[in-house]
């Protein structure tokens, strides 16, 4: 792979500095405070100079959103061991999701709060490879015989339910409970663990069958 020339390296370094500054503005003041002018003040550039690196505020936000998805994929690769029992794999996947909000709260909020490229059809979401990852994990757990879906939920419905719970917890962690996350996080993780293990067929792992 060809090594970037000095000019390209400087360009990429400055882009990253702008992205870092944008994250800081969002973290301290919220996404509504982000503008090309506020960003220019943060990095000590003129607003017009920023347009050499990004065409608009929306492009910066989209870059941050894509970075968030990259970080999520990286966390899943590091945290999820597919050689484990299927139910435990689901638990680790859920914990990896929650960890994203812990490590990158600004990126997490942008990933799901932005209306840029919002789907016009739920099928667009369901067919997205990122959505399919957990869907396939759930399906494999059911097919293995180690996991039973509660009630009359389908695999797809359970996938949505898990997402609703994970997203709700993550948003609470970066908002209402952001100042007491050390207390809230263990509670949230234990609730998530029990939620998943309640569907486990194994009497050793199902908390409802250990009493």
Q: What single-letter DSSP state applies at residue 89? A: H
Q: Are 57 and 34 in contact (CB under 8 A)?
A: yes
Q: 142-148: long-range contacts (C-beta < 8 A, 24 or more apart)?
A: 144/86, 145/201, 146/85, 146/86, 146/87, 146/200, 146/201, 146/202, 147/86, 147/87, 147/90, 147/199, 147/200, 147/201, 148/199, 148/200, 148/201
Class of domain 65-209: mainly alpha
- Domain residue limits, the chain: 1-55, 65-209
Q: What is the average pLDDT score of the chain?
A: 87
pLDDT average, residue stretch 179-201: 89
Q: CATH assignment of 1-55? A: 1.10.10.60
Segment 42-79, tens digit of pLDDT: 999 998 999 999 999 989 998 999 999 999 999 999 99
Give the tens place of pLDDT for each residue, 74-91.
999 999 988 888 888 999
Beta bridge partners of 62: none
What pTM, to 2 d.p., does this model score?
0.80
């Amino acid at each position: 792979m060809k090594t970037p020339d000095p000019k390209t390296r400087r360009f990429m370094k400055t882009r990253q500095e702008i992205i870092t500054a944008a994250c800081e503005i969002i973290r301290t003041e919220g996404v509504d405070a982000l503008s090309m002018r506020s960003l220019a003040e943060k990095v000590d550039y003129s607003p017009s100079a920023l347009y050499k690196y990004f065409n608009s505020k929306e492009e910066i936000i989209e870059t941050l959103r894509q970075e968030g998805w990259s970080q999520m994929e990286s966390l899943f690769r590091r945290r999820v061991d597919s050689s484990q029992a299927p139910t435990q794999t689901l638990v680790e996947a859920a914990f990896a999701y929650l960890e994203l909000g812990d490590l990158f709260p600004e990126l997490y909020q942008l990933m799901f709060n932005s209306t840029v490229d919002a789907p016009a059809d739920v099928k667009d979401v369901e067919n997205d490879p990122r959505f399919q990852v957990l869907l396939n994990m759930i399906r494999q757990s059911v097919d293995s015989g180690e996991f039973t879906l509660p009630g009359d939920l389908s695999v797809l419905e359970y996938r949505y339910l898990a997402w609703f719970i994970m997203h709700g917890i993550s948003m609470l962690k970066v908002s209402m409970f952001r100042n007491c996350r050390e207390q809230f996080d263990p509670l949230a993780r234990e609730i998530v663990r029990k939620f998943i293990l309640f569907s486990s067929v194994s009497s050793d792992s199902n908390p409802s069958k250990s009493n």
